Structure 1
Amino acid sequence: MTDHGFDLLDRQLVQALMIDGRAAFSRLAAALETTDQTVIRRYRRLRGAGLLRVLGLPVGDRVGMHESRLRIQCVPGSAVAIAEALSRRPDTGWVKILAGGAEVGCMVSSRSSEEHEALLLQKLPGTRQVTGVSAQSLLHRYTAGPGHWLGPAELGEEQIQALVPPEANRGDTVRLDDFDDAMLAVLARDGRAGYPELAKATGRSESTVRRRLEYLRGAGALTFEVEILPVHLGYLTEAALALTVAPGALAEVGRALAEHPQVPFVAAVTGATNLAATVLCTDRHALYTYMTEGIGALPAVHQLEVVPVLRHVKRAGLLSDGSRLFDPPR
């Protein structure tokens, strides 16, 4: 089931962009066995309708960011206001209101430990409507690679391999400068922004911008993500998972969950539970089936908490600029 008239070619294009969100239209067209003009027209229609966008985002652990997954307990009736205030911060992503309507979940990525501590120790605790905050630091992401597709497989193996970008060469932490910040500000709004636009924003030449972008990507410091509402791929139910796993089996379970098509995010974390994940299902019955059969097939999982997501206020990118991508599905 899909929404808004997504046909096979639309879904193939979305999957192709999830593999390489920056791939040239000609390369996408060759992999999809169609014309450049058709791919351009399809992409512009989906993006123009607010159904899809590609974002270029820094990879937190590769650029020295401090990342935490927060759960914020609120006074009843205040969750929307708190979620909206968090969404306006440039260091937050995936701001969502959780089941019960009195809890907000989000991801915080701060450029310095001082900024991180100020939010956790001063700003949030000092907010009258906040009654409690729990924070888990991200230790390792298991769903970090490109091309994690949530729908039924639409591309063949040869098509996928034709689009997979070169593997990143992860070395020392990459330090970002003002030039990088200016370029990333543009890519955070449009990961497919052209080199002339990036050059204008940074005050550098197109060749310099191209080299730097390729360096950041090759170093694993820059990734391209596709934002699309799960409802367009047939997923109507979303939940946050908190799992307690035997330490010796943590990596095994994390990798197993990352292979599940319903799971767009899974990471090892600090705290009372040591594995955090997000699951997308077609409906609540499918969520039950996933809990009993998907999670149930992993004997190393000792405890599971499932918290349904009521509403997304902010996804991976910046605060809504009026794009319908961020409106609740009708």
Structure 2
Amino acid sequence: MDEFDEDLIRALQLDGRAQFSVLAAELGVHRTVVAGRVHELIETGEIRIHAAVHPRAVGLPVQVNLQFRISGPSSPVFERLLEFTNVVFLSEISGQSQGVVEVWAADLDDVGRTVRAIQAIPGVGEVQFSLYDRVLRRLRLGEDPDPKELAFDDFDIDLMAQLQLDGRLTFGELARRTGRSASACRARVLRLLDSGVMRIGAVRSRLNATSSVLSGVGIMLSGDAEGIASAEDLLLDVPTIEFAARTLGRYGLIATIAARSIGDYTDIVRMIRAHPAVSRVETWVHASVWLERYEWSLDRLERLRRD
């Protein structure tokens, strides 16, 4: 991929419904260039654009990161993990561990059952556990929504379900599919977006490595609270860090870096290592991302609303 594609995808990750004219102005090209390239990226499967519903909105407030070692063939392990309904991210990685998985769960009991099920998969060895204490940045999801915003009606659920399939559906098309007016659809979608319940953006196809480098860092911390807060701020100042979280477990912080090159990745890791509150950094490269999903079934949303 060239620099233009990388910049375009980054912009769509931040706002999947951005108008082509706005994207064109940001990137310094004509609107038709942006429109044509976005359609090509979608048609070839390089990206998909859809709504991501915040985990708290679907009753999954507990998120954990698990790294595991594999003995023997790796594909059967990953194929088995694809069957887990609460796995939202699954990647084959380089380094001391061979896999990383992110799990969203209803509570710690749910986490325990999932961890034990993963450990029982033939070929899975040592599992390292990190519980997200606070998510600092999640590119595809914003800040935690206000609890008062976590009440949905049928109209909300219909809109979220449609936008999970195609995040760029026009308000007119949403009106046709939901049986409401376009103005009502617009007002309700904007409310869902503004509240943090839902965010719409591009998700890249990362099953195979591309010219960009997707990597993870596990950061061990030392020092006082002020120094640790400064380390968190450092991560948030790096625009190519797609995900960062304060964690409980092996690491104090975990982050995902989407660097443009090995050189960029190396510079970022060097900068993290140089921070006075950082005592150790462990790194891994996402060689093959098997799963990255943010869609949840309409049935789950309706069941939560009834409860």
Q: Distance in 1 between matches of 2:23 and 2:76?
A: 41
Q: Distance in 2 between matches of 1:169 and 1:316?
A: 18
Contact 2:55 2:61 in 1 (8 A): yes
CA shift at 1:46, angstroms?
1.9
- Written as runs of structure 1 = structure 2, the 5 A alignment for 1:270-309 is 270-281=248-259, 284=262, 287-291=265-269, 293-309=270-286
Q: 1:263 aligns with which of 217, 229, 241?
A: 241
Q: Where in structure 1 do 4 or more consecutive aligned residues deviate above 6 Å?
A: 230-233
RMSD of aligned alpha carbons: 3.7
Change (3 A) 1:307 1:100: closer
Match of 1:221 in 2: 197
- 1:174 to 2:152 alignment: no
Match of 1:116 in 2: 110
Deviations 1:44-100 (A, max 9, x none): 122112222323102234665234233243541343223233334443222101225
- 1:105 to 2:82 alignment: no
Q: 2:218 aligns with which of 218, 223, 242?
A: 242
CA shift at 1:305, angstroms?
1.4
Q: 1:254 aligns with which of 221, 232, 250?
A: 232
Q: Name the amino acid aligned to 1:223.
A: R
Q: Name the amino acid aligned to 2:271.
A: G
- Written as runs of structure 1 = structure 2, the 5 A alignment for 1:1-330 is 3=1, 6=2, 8=4, 10-29=5-24, 31-32=26-27, 36-61=31-56, 64-99=59-94, 103-110=98-105, 112-113=106-107, 116-117=110-111, 119-120=113-114, 122-144=116-138, 171-172=146-147, 174-175=149-150, 177=152, 179=154, 180-199=156-175, 202=178, 204-228=180-204, 234-235=211-212, 237-246=213-222, 248=225, 249-281=227-259, 284=262, 287-291=265-269, 293-317=270-294
1:97 partner SS: strand
Q: Which runs of 5+ in 1 are unaligned?
A: 148-166, 320-330
2:149 partner SS: coil
1:264 partner SS: strand
Q: Name the amino acid aligned to 1:174.
A: E
Using the size of structure 1 for normalisation, the TM-score is 0.72
Q: Distance in 1 between matches of 2:194 and 2:236?
A: 23
Question: Percent of counterpart pairs with the same letter?
Answer: 21
Using the size of structure 2 for normalisation, the TM-score is 0.76
Contact 2:65 2:101 in 1 (8 A): yes
CA shift at 1:21, angstroms?
1.7
CA shift at 1:265, angstroms?
1.5
Change (3 A) 1:71 1:42: same
Q: Name the amino acid aligned to 1:217.
A: L
Match of 2:299 in 1: none
Q: Distance in 2 between matches of 1:24 and 1:238?
A: 27
Change (3 A) 1:297 1:62: farther
Contact 2:91 2:286 in 1 (8 A): yes
Deviations 1:214-259 (A, max 9, x none): 1111111212232235899842x43321111235123221121122
Normalized per residue, which structure has more strand?
Answer: 2
CA shift at 1:187, angstroms?
2.7
1:307 partner SS: strand
Number of residues paired by the alignment? Answer: 292
1:294 partner SS: helix
Q: Name the amino acid aligned to 1:300.
A: A
Match of 1:324 in 2: none
Change (3 A) 1:271 1:113: same
Higher mean Cα deviation, 125-134 or 198-207? 198-207
Contact 2:273 2:279 in 1 (8 A): no
